[in-house]
């Protein structure tokens, strides 16, 4: 029987899906390469959430900084997924 995914893993998965949508919309454009890099970073977040090393991976950075603040600013549709994951990493951060 497969193991149940944690809320943090599910939130990281949602973040990946949101970033993938942005990347898919940019395919064929120069900016797609940057979005692909951000998608890789989102996958790193998912893996770290599985390993229990998410806080260590981020260090002092928040998720926006980890993904790339300029990219996030240019892709505001990812903000809800970022906030959801942040709330699970640091409860009450956005309360």
Over residues 16-70, the pLDDT tens digits come to 999 999 999 999 998 899 999 999 999 999 999 999 899 999 999 999 999 999 9
The interaxial angle of helices 7-26 and 79-89, nearest 10 deg, is 160
The interaxial angle of helices 7-26 and 32-51, nearest 10 deg, is 170
Over residues 61-74, the pLDDT tens digits come to 999 999 999 999 99
CB 58 within 8 A of CB 49: no
Total-model pTM = 0.88
């Amino acid at each position: 029987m497969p193991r149940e995914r944690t809320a943090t893993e599910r939130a990281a998965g949602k973040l990946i899906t949101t970033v993938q949508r942005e990347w898919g919309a940019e395919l064929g454009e120069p900016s797609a390469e940057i979005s692909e890099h951000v998608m890789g970073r989102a996958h790193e977040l998912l893996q770290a959430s599985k390993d229990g090393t998410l806080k260590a991976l981020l260090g002092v950075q928040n998720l926006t900084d980890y993904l790339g603040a300029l990219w996030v600013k240019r892709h505001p549709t990812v903000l809800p997924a970022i906030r959801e994951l942040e709330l699970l990493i640091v409860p009450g951060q956005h309360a």
